[in-house]
Structure formats: structure tokens, C-alpha cells
Structure 1
């Protein structure tokens, strides 16, 4: 009889312990959904970050580390799975598949090709993964988008070119226009914004895509010089700093100097060209606010929290999807405000900009 009672007590205790373990497991699961750093839930707190290329310096140097740091600040138990498409849209599609296999809960993606990535975005969403479009508005059912006001970027670029031309800005003045990659929806916005500033005030005598590639931009600029002749070119609209590098090389090779060349991204080399006078302006899109905003959106979506206070406007993507969006404000940078923008924000130090090659130009510009 005593033995039987012992078996009943032991059995009851075992059931009680099992129920306790199950209850603890459920509590842990709830914490994982809420962004807890509890061990064993890291698979449910993983965020994928997919960037489009390594040619544009900002992605590896700024966007990636800033995004990772902000995610860690917001969610100690979250992990970031990272991949760079190296300019290959097919590779980026495969990277999305890999992220799905790894079980990430949110994917933040700057699409190499916004249209081509649509199928991959749909595949991720079909698996219950939230997708945040970063810097470029990917097609498909993305949950949120963070970028800058891209038409405003183009307007700033166009106006900076007119300002640099000064009295030479006339309807008969020849300007070369080297746009971004048509596969990037931002490129169309930059182009539209620039045309809104330039059309009717100067003559766009040659316009081509430079594919965001310095070598391609160099080839296009060389072709423009051949077609228009060096003496007939008053200025160049370049959609970003990487292409401005190739354009500057082509201009130098043709013996052209002193004409304005625009840019974008505030790359270190672009800032140095501005100081040296071989590029007239760039557009500074502060990397930290953008990366921070993307991280906050991603963590909120992972934790099931509202993003209404973050994404306060709505944009329509190329696929017709209405996307909650957060748009930041870009800033035009010329030699006159380098100190008040990229240096003041500690994007670059004076020593980084004013290397031996640029020391004299920096001194002349009052940057020491």
C-alpha cells in the first residue's frame, strides 16, 4: 500500500514538473516574440540585411555597421544576417532564399533591381517574413520603406549645378547628364527632380545612364566630349559620386577643367574632389539616421509593434503596392559648407579629408 502511494506521489510530481516546464517554455516563447535576449530564442530574433553592391563606398563602411549597432541597441538578443549582392541581382535573389532558409523574421533589403526582386519579396512574405525596403523601393508586398526624398535629391543636384554655372546658366548652355541605373527606382526620381530644376534653364545636350558605375560613366562622358566637343560643355550632372569619379577622369583626359560636376552620397573621394575643385557639389544623405530608422522599423516588425509613428507617409511602388514610408531630408554640400555638414556630423575628420594631396586645397578652403 505504501509502495502504491509512493508511485502515485511520484507520478503526480512528474506531471507537475512537466506542466511547469511547459509553462516556462511558453513564457520563453512569449519573450522571444517581444524581443527578449533570452537564450534559445535567437533564431526567432534574426534580421536579414541585404545590400546591393560594394562599389558604392557607403554600404560597407557606414550602412552595415550602423544598422547592426542600432539593432543591437534596440534588441540585445537580436542577430543580423548580412549579405552583399556585389551588383548582381540574381545573386541577391539567391541571398533572399538563403535568408528564408535560415529562418530570419525580417529582411531589410536595398534592391539591386527593384523589379527583379519582386518574386523574392513575395516568397519571403509567403513564409511569414516581413520585408523592409531600404534606400530603394523594392517591388512586391513590402511592409515598410525608409529612404530620403529622392526627387528632392535630384532637385538639389540640379539647383547646385545651376548655382555653380552662375551667369553661364542659359537655355543655350550645353550640359551633360549622366543618370543612374534604370533598374533602381531611385534613379528615376533623381532624374525627374534634376530635370525639374534644369529644364528650360540649360540645354541637356547629352543624356545617358552611367549604371552607377565609374567606368561606364567615364565611357559615356568620353562619348559626350567626342559628340559635343570639349569647348561646348559647360557642366555635368552626375547622379552620384562614384560616377563623378569616372567623369572627372574623362574631363581631365580631354583637357577640360573648371566646369561644375555634381554628385551624391558624400563619399570621401567626392568631398576631396569638391575641396580640390574637380567636383562642385554632392548630396549628403546622412547614413546614421537612415540606418537607425531601418533598424527601428525592423525591430518593431519583429516584435509585432506598430510602425505608424515611424512610417508617416505612403508611397506606391512599381508593382502598385502602397507602402508605409519614412522619408528623410537630404542636404546639398559644396566647398562652402563641408565643415558644417560632413565634418560637423563626424562623418569624416579633417585629417581624413585633408591628406597630403589635398592639404593645400583644404587650407585655401579654410579646412584645417
Structure 2
């Protein structure tokens, strides 16, 4: 089925569904929790707002893609602000409200597996968004083990011949997040045996403040003159780490991140962060939206692979450093040069050719 035919099938099915529901008096109502029988609503539940990409990129791209594929569909959105109890309440409200498909990026994937099992018993389908959930109907993410490998490889490249004798600090993500384990595993695959040693390793729990505190502890434990580079699992934590390094008078060492947050890109321009990993929301959110609409319309899933038996689309991540900011996040329209290039960064932006 080609793209045009697929859109026609979806549009026809959606209009037919909407008319049928309206005739039964079931398609009205604007309650964000969804209405009983309101089967043109798709839920989107994101895990937290400390990482800016969720509100700035994932949500609007998902909503735009759903509307592009299904004119009669409505996205019912909530953010759990890192609270698993709140997310469970949000999930239950969608199920009780008659939403038939939920795209869920869980605060705690282990606990979410139980929610998914109960929801499926009630006929509700779940797309695991960015984080794998046991028993989900589909899983859409980037290749997260590869993310970690790219982070490790980029750190090695930044260290160059110094890597053999380098003491590395690793600040990993939240241990409740299965992706954090994949990032960590991938990074170790790239780093182990190729650096002097991992001198300090801890979880920053996806929190910039906690990551900064862990970095300060690492400086005290390892010694400011011994730390050669820092692996940060994401850009948010890299911000806290860079602040801790600056407060300790440590400058010029490689610091990595992930998510291509604008603050991370700005630190790359400024020279306080070395690289980030770009996981394009122009790929992730639209693919998840496409899968959600397919599930809603009972269309076949075009999965590339499987993850623990779940049909999966795993997208390719990209390393972003000073050399390719223009060709990635700017040319894809995620940010403009004006967004990135504050007056303080203007001269460095010009030198990098950002426009």
C-alpha cells in the first residue's frame, strides 16, 4: 500500500468512524480525559518536563503528525512531571474515557507493563514511545544501545591519544528508565578497555541538580587534575555537570550529552560541551503518531524489527558537534540560528558558519 493510498484509507475510515459515532451520540465532548466511546482520540503521555525536548519538540511534532494522518483524530496529552503515580492516574483516565490507543513514554517502564496488560484486556492498544514496555502493541524509539556507543565513541575521538591514560567520569540516567541502561551499556561497549579507567560512575537520575552534585562528588573523589572527560547521559544533566566543573576551575575537558537540547547546542558553540546525540523528533514523533493511527484504524504495522516480541521501529541517532550543527538541527528546522546565537555567542556562531 503506497503512502497516498494509505492516507486515503485512513481518511475514509476516520470519516466513517466519526459519522458513526456522531449518529450514536458518542462523538461529542471536550473533556481532556476522553469520552466513553470516543474512539478517534489518541492519548500521548510523556514522562517529565525537566528535559526540554518533550514539550518543545516531541509533543507538537506528534500532534502535528496525527492531524496530518487523521483529520478527525484528537490527541489527548498529559505530562507526568516525573511522578509515576500521576502518570498512572493519567493513563487510567484515558482508559476510562474510552481512548483506544495510547502512546506512552513511561516514568517507570517496569510498572507501566502492568498498566499495559490491564489496558489491553479492555481493548486499549499501547505504543511504547521512546522507552520499551513489556507487552506493548508497538515500540518506537531510536537505537538506544547505539546512542550509548556513539556517546562513547565521540568521547574517545575528543580525547584522541590521551584516551589510554584517561580517567573518565560517567553520570548515567535514571535506573528506572530502561533506555538509561541501554545508553550505559552502549557507552561501556565503546569505552571499556580503550580508556585508562572509569574512575567514578553514578546515576544523575535525569536531574541537572543531582548530576551536578554527583560531578562535585567525583571531583572530590578522583581529583580535579585527574579527570580527563565526562560522559553525561543527556544534555540536561550535562548542564549541571558543566556548572560543577566550572565551579571547580576545570576547563577544556570533553563533556558529552544527548537530546540536542538548545542549551546543549549553545554549550557546544560556547565550547563547554563537546557533543550531543541528535534523535530527530521529526522522525520519532511522526513515526509514533503513524503507528498510533495505524493501530486505531486496525491497519497492518510496518515494523522494521522486534524488541522482546514487540513490533518495533528503531531509528538512527546522529552525533552533533561544532562541525554539523548547521546541517542537522538548523537545516531540519528544529532551531534557527537566531534561536541558538545569543549576543554572547554571536561571534562564535559566525565562526562556525551558523546562519
Looking at structure 1, the residues matched to 111 and 189 of structure 2 have their Cα atoms a distance apart, in angstroms, of: 28
Aligned to 1:185: 178
Show the 5 A alignment for 1:60-75. 60-75=55-70
Runs of 4+ in 1 over 6 A off after TM superposition: none
Q: 2:304 is matched with which residue?
A: 312
1:73-222 counterparts in 2 under 5 A? 73-139=68-134, 141-170=135-164, 172-202=165-195, 203-222=197-216
The Cα offsets for residues 21-45 of structure 1, whole Å up to 9 and x where unpaired, read as xxxxxxxxxx999322437264121
User: 2-side partners of 1:341 and 1:75: how far apart?
Assistant: 29
Aligned residue for 2:14, secondary structure, equals coil
Structural RMSD (CA): 1.4
Q: Which segments of 5 or more consecutive residues in structure 1 lack a partner in the other structure?
A: 1-30, 317-321
Alignment-derived partner of residue 3 in structure 2: none
Specify the structure having the higher radius of gyration (Cα): 1
**Conserved in 1, the CA contact under 8 Å of 2:228 and 2:253?**
yes
Distance 2:13 2:298 in 1: 8
Do 1:33 and 1:302's aligned partners in 2 also have CA atoms closer than 8 Å?
A: no
1:300 Cα deviation from its structure 2 partner: 0.6
Mapped pair 1:302 → 2:296: yes
1:33/1:118 CA distance change after superposition, 3 Å: farther
Contact 2:11 2:70 in 1 (8 A): no
Deviation at 1:94, TM superposition (A): 1.0
State the TM-score, normalizing by the size of structure 1: 0.87
Match of 1:246 in 2: 240
- C-alpha distance in 2, partners of 1:315/1:121? 16
The CA distance in 1 between the partners of 2:64 and 2:324, in whole Å, is: 29
Q: CA deviation at 1:366?
A: 2.6
CA distance in 1, matches of 2:13, 2:120: 20
For 1:46 and 1:76, the matched residues in 2 are separated by 11
Cα pair 1:33 1:44 within 8 Å, conserved? no
Distance across 1 between alignment mates of 2:77 and 2:51: 17
Measured in 2, the distance between the counterparts of 1:32 and 1:287 equals 24
Range moving further from structure 2, 118-127 or 95-104 = 118-127
Paired position in structure 2 for 1:340: 327
> Corresponding residue for 2:51?
56
Q: Deviations over 1:71-96 (max 9, x none)?
A: 11111111111111000111111111
- Measure the CA separation in 1 of the matches of 2:12 and 2:49: 33
Structure 2: state its 5+ residue gaps: 1-9, 28-37
Specify the SS of the correspondent of 1:138: coil
Separation in 2, partners of 1:360, 1:272: 13
Partner of 1:115, secondary structure, is: helix
Distance 2:44 2:118 in 1: 16
